[in-house]
Structure 1
Amino acid sequence: MPERVIQGRKGGLISLGAADALWAGLTSESGVPTAAAAFTCSPAPEYVLLGGRVVATMKADGDQRSVPEAAVRRAAAELNAVGMDRRDLVRIGPFRGVLKREYREGTLLRWRERIAGELQEPGSPDRTSRRERGRLPHLAGIDWRRILVEQTQGREARSWWLPRAVVRLLDAAEHAERQWLQATQQPSEAVTADGREATSPDCPTTTLRAYGGELKGQLYAVLSRKPGISGKVAGWICAVCRTAPAAVLDHCHEHGYVRAPVCHSCNTLERPDHLYSKDIRVAGRYTRLFDTDSADWLPHWHRCPGCRARTTLPLPHLAAWTAHIACRSLRPTHRPRGSRGRTPCGVLRVSWTGSHNAPRSCLLIIVVDCCPSGEHRVLARVPYREAAERFRIWLAETAPDVAAAAGPDRLDGLPIQSRPVIVDTSGEGMALF
């Protein structure tokens, strides 16, 4: 950034106007669009969120506030290193009850609720003026309106989506802001000018801890009702991506076991895209789950003792894997206009009859919707047990360490519970349930 932009520098501090210019210049080529007035959009802020970093402001001359130049540069460098795929979207609202929660005015806390409230609020004059006073001109220095995607289903159903990389940034920013507010409310804790907590013998740092299997083998129905569990979850870092603070407890819906604390982004990525109760769309995100990021997701899924003992996945995940991996060679392709090569056509969808409780009668049906060669074309009908066996073979090749720890003979340390796991893989019905 040219030095001529930095005016009024004194002791490493620059004015808020100069900080705006510095932030805009340093992030002009960032993949994440940034706001033009991150520092001057609100009167004399005590701190400004830039990505996942809190940058504190301080009084200089009179009521004028300044900000450390080095902190702005560090925040810009961290944001520029973020890669964003605009096609990898996460739904951020609206959800039921988003306006019932209270949030502190002028902060990023509960940023999903604040966006939903701003987009949902009727345009009456009174409410419009109230919205203008409390609206978020930017989110952690990010111009969220430029990347917000609105989708409509039917005449009235609307939903809002943001790229996954931005959602993770905002979750990290919300956590950093919460830590900042807690620190400033406790005089015994010291905070540095760039938003990092100072280290001293009398002032230990508050950092997220890695998940070490503390909740292994516990049932979600029991654990989720314990008081204080949400605060405990917020103290961990996401057990999958290991970059964002955890927000929810991911659990196996078939066996009921807790897997691990994860962030909102990973929880959304892992959730099957149900069209109906027994019908899911196999979207492009399954490439990450089963290909590029399989080393993270396979051990995570097998944190469930039931899935690990059966060496399989929950039925919706197994169905998606069968369509995406086992039947990949069966999917028709076509040659796009004006380009070489061939690309898969249509949209993969998989449905099933029966249930995992009766594996012998359960059948997976893989089809391609909107295929030029024949809409709703059936690619394959795969029995559940055949799909599970294919997955077992693929798992041994893809993640041998995960496969080695799985199977009915790996039941040592299985917790005692009200619904015991029964080793009966040769019979019909409730095998391992």
Structure 2
Amino acid sequence: MSERFIPGRRGGLITLGAADALWAGLTTDSAVPAASAAFTCSPANARAGYVLLGGRVVATVKASGGQWSVPEIEVRRAAAELNAVEMDRQDLVRIGPFRSAQKQNEKTPLRWRQRITRELQELGDPERAAQPEGGRPHHLAGIDWRRILVEQSRGHTARTWWLPRAVVRLLDAAEHTETQWLQAARTRQKSATVTESPSHHRQARAADGRQTTSPHCPTTPLRPYNEELQGHLYSVLSRKPGTSRKVAGWTCAICRTAPAAVLDHCHEHGYVRAPVCHSCNTQERPDHLYSNDIRVANHYTRLFHTHAADWLHHWHRCPGCRTRTTLPLPHLAAWTAHIACRSLRPTHRDPRGSRARKPCGALRVSWTGSHNAPGSCLLTVAVDLCPSGEHRVLAQVPYREAAERFGTWLAETAPAVAAEAGPDRLDGLPTRFRPVIADTSSEGLALF
């Protein structure tokens, strides 16, 4: 995947060293920290024919004299895209480690989750940590992830690793773009003739002035999700061949920007909700989840406040939840603690002297029974980790009361979503509903 090219005025080629300097200079003020050696440091490999910068593929060219170069205009475009990304360092996504290995796209060399997990595990080994870091990857897709990695510990042994959601979405987009690039390259390589004429090489310049390696490998644009999977059961759809490939062709149904990676579905009723990206699939998960116990984290502010209408519409893509104007039991429990019992949560003075008062400790909600027996299901909202050493129960709310409160709040918060719900749409539902699935893997992530 290389060609001889004479640089022109627009989109001229620059060496890899010059590209490193240009990339570092252009991204100095970026919210997402960029690597200073994105083209010359592992895992970047010019001989592969491309280098990943964020969600963009920048083609590499072997110019006359055997020197590897890249189009300057592509470096500038990638830098502009990275600079436009807004990052909230408090909005974190857990990336590992997990008890069971997450599925990875084996067709994509990036595999950023595996790379980060492997490197952090090696650094945890005293012998490896003492060795020099020669050859160790310092970046992924031009992003210096080490500078923004957050490590949290529970006790003396359990460690978890987190990255800002904006960076997770960038790296997921990089994996998706790389997959499409490689598939297009293989397709063109199979159909290409054994020898290519010089005129073919001259046609490698793209219509927008971009110069790439030959053959040019375009990426297929993602299509928006338009409820094509509405009413499908996940247990049936997940067994059909080609489902994963079909899912990867959609944009995420929630953020509508990142490529979809998984089928989100309701674990209580078994219906597919929509294809979503890894980031949105983790956004509704609590920090700690047990069989009937949830720690209500700060990210619920986004789910039930700033982006409530979008998330409520997404949850009600499940016919079972929509017809009963409610949420799956873990979601309803989190809503009850975060919204219905908000006024009951005690506050404390800020120890730094500010007049503002801080909410007490951390909210936790547990339940007995299940949604299949609403008369005996009870939600208990409590406060843990109180600064004054108290552990208090704020409220005990019966399931039916919680569901009624949610229906009232839904009509006020998202009237369009509430208008589509109601008990008059029960015909298409199965007669027996699945019970709440107990968490069995990935430290509490399976239930959601």
TM-score normalised per structure 2: 0.82
Cα distance, 1:60 vs. partner?
Answer: 2.2
Alpha carbons of structure 1 residues 164 and 292: separation in structure 2 relative to 1, 3 Å = same
The one-letter code matched in structure 1 to 2:24 is A
| C-alpha distance in structure 1 between counterparts of 2:94 and 2:52, whole Å | 22
| C-alpha distance in structure 2 between counterparts of 1:123 and 1:271, whole Å | 30
Cα distance, 1:114 vs. partner?
Answer: 1.8
In the TM superposition, 1:321-332 aligns within 5 A as 321-332=335-346
Alpha carbons of structure 1 residues 124 and 282: separation in structure 2 relative to 1, 3 Å = closer
Contact 2:383 2:394 survives alignment (8 Å): yes
- Per-residue displacement from partner, 1:262-313 (whole Å, max 9, x unpaired)? 1111111122444421110000000011111112101000000000000000
| C-alpha distance in structure 1 between counterparts of 2:134 and 2:239, whole Å | 39
**1:87 maps to what in 2?**
90
**Residue of structure 1 aligned with 2:371, choices 341, 345, 356:** 356
**1:427 maps to what in 2?**
none
**Residue of structure 2 aligned with 1:304, choices 318, 340, 363:** 318
- Per-residue displacement from partner, 1:14-60 (whole Å, max 9, x unpaired)? 22212111111111111111101001225644211111111112122
Contact 2:323 2:424 survives alignment (8 Å): yes
**Residue of structure 2 aligned with 1:47, choices 36, 50, 68:** 50
SS of the equivalent of 2:375 reads helix
Listed as ranges, the gaps of 5+ residues in structure 1 are 1-7, 422-433
SS of the equivalent of 2:367 reads strand
SS of the equivalent of 1:186 reads helix
| C-alpha distance in structure 2 between counterparts of 1:300 and 1:126, whole Å | 45
Cα distance, 1:150 vs. partner?
Answer: 2.3
| C-alpha distance in structure 1 between counterparts of 2:174 and 2:157, whole Å | 32
The one-letter code matched in structure 2 to 1:323 is A
**1:276 maps to what in 2?**
290
Contact 2:95 2:161 survives alignment (8 Å): yes
In the TM superposition, 1:32-111 aligns within 5 A as 32-42=32-42, 44-45=46-47, 46-96=49-99, 98=101, 103=106, 107-108=109-110, 110-111=111-112
| C-alpha distance in structure 1 between counterparts of 2:150 and 2:296, whole Å | 21
**1:147 maps to what in 2?**
148
| C-alpha distance in structure 2 between counterparts of 1:196 and 1:80, whole Å | 23
| C-alpha distance in structure 2 between counterparts of 1:252 and 1:104, whole Å | 29
SS of the equivalent of 1:367 reads strand
SS of the equivalent of 1:168 reads helix
Moved more, 326-335 or 187-196: 187-196
Matched, 1:408 2:423: yes
SS of the equivalent of 1:72 reads helix
Contact 1:56 1:194 survives alignment (8 Å): no
Matched, 1:171 2:168: no
Cα distance, 1:94 vs. partner?
Answer: 2.2
**2:226 maps to what in 1?**
212
SS of the equivalent of 1:317 reads helix
SS of the equivalent of 2:70 reads strand
Moved more, 186-195 or 86-95: 186-195
**1:162 maps to what in 2?**
163
Matched, 1:371 2:372: no
| C-alpha distance in structure 2 between counterparts of 1:171 and 1:339, whole Å | 40
Equivalent residues, number? 406
**1:424 maps to what in 2?**
none
Contact 1:257 1:304 survives alignment (8 Å): yes
Contact 1:279 1:352 survives alignment (8 Å): yes
| C-alpha distance in structure 2 between counterparts of 1:331 and 1:405, whole Å | 33
Contact 1:308 1:407 survives alignment (8 Å): yes
**1:339 maps to what in 2?**
354
Cα distance, 1:98 vs. partner?
Answer: 4.0
The one-letter code matched in structure 2 to 1:94 is P
Contact 1:44 1:64 survives alignment (8 Å): no
Cα distance, 1:358 vs. partner?
Answer: 1.2
| C-alpha distance in structure 1 between counterparts of 2:211 and 2:282, whole Å | 29
Contact 2:71 2:211 survives alignment (8 Å): no
**Residue of structure 2 aligned with 1:392, choices 407, 410, 421:** 407
Listed as ranges, the gaps of 5+ residues in structure 2 are 1-6, 193-203, 435-448
Matched, 1:30 2:27: no
Contact 1:332 1:345 survives alignment (8 Å): yes
Alpha carbons of structure 1 residues 209 and 128: separation in structure 2 relative to 1, 3 Å = farther
Alpha carbons of structure 1 residues 34 and 124: separation in structure 2 relative to 1, 3 Å = same
| C-alpha distance in structure 2 between counterparts of 1:83 and 1:126, whole Å | 35
Contact 1:53 1:195 survives alignment (8 Å): no
SS of the equivalent of 2:114 reads helix
SS of the equivalent of 1:300 reads helix
| C-alpha distance in structure 1 between counterparts of 2:68 and 2:394, whole Å | 65
Moved more, 306-315 or 27-36: 27-36
The one-letter code matched in structure 1 to 2:141 is A
Matched, 1:224 2:244: no
SS of the equivalent of 1:298 reads helix
Alpha carbons of structure 1 residues 181 and 305: separation in structure 2 relative to 1, 3 Å = same
- Per-residue displacement from partner, 1:3-23 (whole Å, max 9, x unpaired)? xxxxx9965222221211111
Moved more, 285-294 or 74-83: 74-83
The one-letter code matched in structure 2 to 1:185 is R
| C-alpha distance in structure 1 between counterparts of 2:103 and 2:309, whole Å | 39
Identical columns (%): 73
The one-letter code matched in structure 2 to 1:314 is P
Alpha carbons of structure 1 residues 97 and 329: separation in structure 2 relative to 1, 3 Å = closer
